[in-house]
Amino acid sequence: MAVKNIVIYPDPLLRKRSDEVVNIDQTIKKIIEDMKDTMYSAPGIGLAAPQIGENKRIILCDIGEKRDGSELIVLINPEIVESEGVFTFEEGCLSVPGFTEKITRKGKLLVRGWDLAEKEREIEAEDLLAVVFQHEIDHLNGKLFIDHLSHLKKELFKKWMKKQKNNKQN
């Protein structure tokens, strides 16, 4: 299909709640193909539809070593049904390029959504997969990983962003 431009923070689209998908039609399938092409070329391990400018509740991820699509997970209208424990991971985001920080999230999840075959799926996730699901579902709710930072780290992030902006202008 096509590699799309990734929406970069502070674009307001990243702060919008995404719309539910009501029909898995050709338009939705094309969005998913574009997301897949974009994620693998970025390279990333997860992507949410708003990150390519599509205001739809779609996420995908692949935390496999091969990154050949054999471990690709696509979820439409995903929701976290259960969560427990904690897991800390150094997160980054394709929409906030160049910035990473340790974020503590839930360590185990049960996630429910629909696949491309229009079948409801429930996936149990731990550790890295749980982090990726939470990170991508946050995108669908207009939230970014930087929103999980402490006040001090948010201030450091703002300074980092200002420095990035100044470097681009010079």
pLDDT tens for each residue of 3-53: 999 999 999 999 999 999 999 999 999 999 999 999 999 989 999 999 999
Name the superfamily (CATH) of residues 12-169: Peptide deformylase (3.90.45.10)
**Domains in the chain: boundaries:** 12-169
pLDDT tens for each residue of 83-140: 999 999 999 999 999 999 999 999 999 999 999 999 999 999 999 999 999 999 999 9
**Which residue numbers are catalytic?**
136
Task: Show the tokens assigned to 98.
Answer: 């160049």
Residues 109, 110, 111, 115, Cα dihedral to 10°: 130
